[in-house]
Structure formats: structure tokens, C-alpha cells
Amino acid sequence: MHMSNRRPIVAGNWKMNGNLALIKQMEALFSNAELSHVDVIVCPPFPYLGGFSGSAFALGGQTISHFESGAHTGETAASMLLEMNCQYVILGHSERRADNNESNELVAEKVDVALKHGLIPLFCVGEPEDIRESGQLFDYIAAQLDAVISKVGIAAFNDIVIAYEPVWAIGTGKTASPAQAQEVHAFIRQHLAKQESDIAKQCVILYGGSVKGSNAVELFSQPDVDGGLIGGASLNPEDFLSICLAAKR
């Protein structure tokens, strides 16, 4: 088990799913759960942020605009997430990078805006299958990390959570093996350590890629895996709870 004092995090990314009934189910189940060992975050679609009542878990947004406010139809500002009691925001998710053409530089800009507003970024990195197969995996992830490091500085990683999501394992049913996940998590930590070893040691790095109740314990027991960013399974309250319970240190 971990000798570090990194507190585990399990974050549920609902993506464009969910409804008010799911919020009620989730809150009812979690209000009675013993989860003092883990920080649980739910990231629903924007319209549902106001639908949560309790403090069974923390809330996060799924992205923000890099603009502060203004004539940007359909966008959501960091300040608005704060008003809706969000503490976290997912940034650089592979679906935003692919569907919305978010570059490493734009993601870095959004991380900077989030930090300035006191939101904690859940900053996503990860490679598509062709990059892994061509052996460019580590260069690709290093470039994603370096864009943010050069924008906000290494000290900011005291307030950033990193999520590694192998793009080839999202919604495909494929999961990186615990050893594959650990290899990349260790690389990310070593890459940060080149700049500042103490920050690297305490940075929480989540795994995101088809995590289920059945594989969570094994994934979370890897030395550099500090929890998970959960997609599909976060829409099933029982599955999501079992993953949260698996994050015991």
C-alpha cells in the first residue's frame, strides 16, 4: 500500500448523460456511505449542477471557457462554476481535445484560468492507440504535460490533479492492465520530478479508462495510481459506490 500521504480521489464524469432522477438516487445512496478515506467528485452536465442538494460529494464541471465572460454563446465561465458550488473542473479530456479541437496550448490556458479562480483542475492526458503502437507514447504525454507546466509553472501542480486516460481504453471496454497504467503513472510522476521532486511525490494522479467495480481494487493498488476518473460506471450509483470503496489506502 501507499506510503505517501496522497489522498485518493474518485471522480465521476457523467459526460452528456444523466437526469434529475439519477441525482436523487446518487445522493440517497451516498448520504449513508462511509467514505472518509476518499474524496468523491461528481461532474454532471452543466444544467444539473443546481440539482444537487447535499454534501455527499464534491461537484465539478466538465470544462470551462478560457474567456472570463462576454459574447460566447454556449460557453460557461469559471466564476459561474464557483457560484454553483463547484470545487473542480475537468480540463483537457480526450473528447474535448478530439471533438472540440482543444490543443495542448488551449488546455493550458484553461488550466491557468481555473487556477486563478480557485478551481482545482482535473487535468487529463493520454494517448490514442496509434501513438501507443508507434512507440511515441511518452513523448506525446510529455508534450501535454509540458504545455501546462510552461504556462502555469511546476508549483501550480500542488493544486492540480492529473488524470491519465488511455484514449484507446475509453468506452471501448479495453482497460489498460494495472501494469500498463502504473508504467504511465510512474512516467508522469518522474516527468514532474525533473522540475520539482516534492511536488511530483504529492501530486494525485488518477486513472481513467473503463474502470469498473471489478477491476478498481487492482488498479488502485498500483503505487502511482491514486484513484480514478470514471466514465460509464459513474452513471450506476451502486457501481460508482463500489469503485469509491475500492480506493482504500
What is the sign, positive or negative, of the torsion defined by CA atoms of 40, 213, 46, 99? positive
* C-beta of residue 146 within 8 angstroms of C-beta of residue 126: no
C-alpha cell at 154: 511546476
CA 169 to CA 27: how far, in whole Å?
28
Q: What is the CA radius of gyration of the chain?
A: 17
216 vs 153, 164, 203, 206, 220, CA distance in Å?
A: 32, 15, 20, 12, 6
Residues with a known catalytic role:
93, 165
What span, in angstroms and rounded, lies between the C-alpha atoms of 4 and 234? 27
Residue type, 68: E
d(CA 226, CA 242) in angstroms, rounded, equals 16
Strand 86-91, strand 9-13: pairing:
unpaired
Q: Determine which helix (DSSP H) or strand (DSSP E) holds 226, and give its type and residue range.
A: none
Q: Which cell goes with 153?
A: 509553472
The 3-state DSSP class for residue 159 equals helix
